[in-house]
Amino acid sequence: MKEFRSFLSPQIHSFIRYRQASQRWNDSSYKENLMLFDHYCHANDPCATALTQEMVDGWCRQRRTETNNSCRSRIYVVDSFVRFLNMRGLSNVQPPQIPRKERRRYLPHAFTEEELIRFFHECDSIPVINSRKETIIRKMSVPVFFRLLYSSGIRTNEARLLLMENVDLRRGILDIQYSKGHDQHYIVLHDSMLEIMRRYDAAINGIVPEREYFFPSIRNSHFNRGWVTKNFNLLWRKANTSHATAYEFRHHYAVTNLNQWTGYGFEFHDKLVYLSKSMGHTTLESTKYYYSIVPGLSEIIKEQTENSSEWMIPEVPLDEETY
């Protein structure tokens, strides 16, 4: 499933170029779903020369096993593609009906210090098999990659797609240009993390010279989403029995910071703004969500303000990834 197969291929490539130019393209999820739609059209009508309503409706119809939000994620790019064609007079097909967003509360795993110690021990214990380049890259990259997630609150896709040109190892600043919502933001690295990344950079240069991405794959590209999930699950399950995901390092980072600020008074708000900007949230509402998962913090705020803190404890923000 590496190439587009149907008659739509030229138009799909034009659509991708358009979205990339407008910085509204997510290669890891949009391309996969658009390719699945393309293959669906090719398999069901290999001789077709024009997009039909049946093709769109058949692919975008909500499946019995899907939640509203899962269906939305799958068909969003097809909806955008159909609208792209219609605006250029290339189709008159009606865009699909997109299910209503479902509000849900999400409770991330609360990492313990012991769990983290065991997990990072496993990261540091990855073996090299028969001097194979792929296993050397894995042994070097995995401990640094997951420590970056843990220490900075960076999103998993932001770390995977981090370009060399956007990493300033002299000043310790990451320029995050690919992000959810596509808003640029900056992350200042902790001194200890900066030193780890400097050592990694020097070492990996000897394995993958002139690399484009800070964390390069064996093909000198970026790691895919499956690489993150596979490595985290394998190492986590070796060390711990609880369930967790790599993305929950982001939640842990936010909660750890909030727990340190409960006695800061007015300065608390300033720190919250800094945290929000560093995490790449487009609004403070996304950051305020973490109030609801910090044990006891909502009660502390009520006591200090003598008012309801309900405005500070919204539902899980729908613009925030949970994987």
In a shared domain, residues 70 and 125:
no
**CATH number of the domain bearing residue 143:** 1.10.443.10
The pLDDT of residue 1: 45
Please name the residue that has the structure tokens 């119809």: 61
**Do 311 and 187 share a structural domain?**
yes
> What does the pLDDT read at residue 310?
42
- Tell whether 223 and 114 lie within a shared domain: yes
Shared-domain flag, residues 168 and 67 = no
DSSP labels, 245-289: -TTHHHHHHHHHHHHT-TT-TTHHHHHHHHHHHHTT-SSHHHHHG
Rounded distance between C-alpha atoms, residue 143 and residue 123, angstroms: 5
Q: Report the pLDDT value the prediction gives residue 278, as an integer from 0 to 100.
A: 63
Residues 30 and 122 in one domain: no
List 174's β-bridge partners, or say none: 167, 187
Global model pTM greater than 0.95: no
Q: Kindly state whether residues 124 and 201 are assigned to the same domain.
A: yes
What was the pLDDT predicted at 320? 42
Residue 266 belongs to some domain of the structure: yes
Domain hosting residue 265, numbered range: 108-323
Which of 34, 58, 87 is the last residue in one of the domains?
A: 87
Query: For the CA atoms of the chain, what is the radius of gyration?
Result: 22
Q: Are residues 129 and 237 in the same domain?
A: yes
Mean pLDDT per 10-residue section of the chain, whose length is 323 residues: 85 94 78 93 94 96 91 93 96 93 74 95 95 95 97 90 95 79 75 96 94 94 92 97 92 76 55 60 57 52 44 40 39
Residues 66 and 58 sit within 8 Å (Cβ to Cβ): no
> How many Cα atoms within 13 Å fall on the side-chain side of residue 149?
24
Tracing tokens 């070492």 back to the chain, one arrives at 203
The reply to whether 146 falls in a domain is yes
Distance between CA atoms of residues 164 and 205, nearest Å:
11
Burial class (CB in 10 A: 0-12, 13-18, 19+), 14: middle
119 and 71 within one domain: no
Number of folded domains that form the chain? 2
- Report DSSP state, residue 208: S
320 lies in some domain: yes
174 and 82 within one domain = no
Burial class (CB in 10 A: 0-12, 13-18, 19+), 52: middle
Shortest CA distance to 12 belongs to which of 54, 44, 40? 40
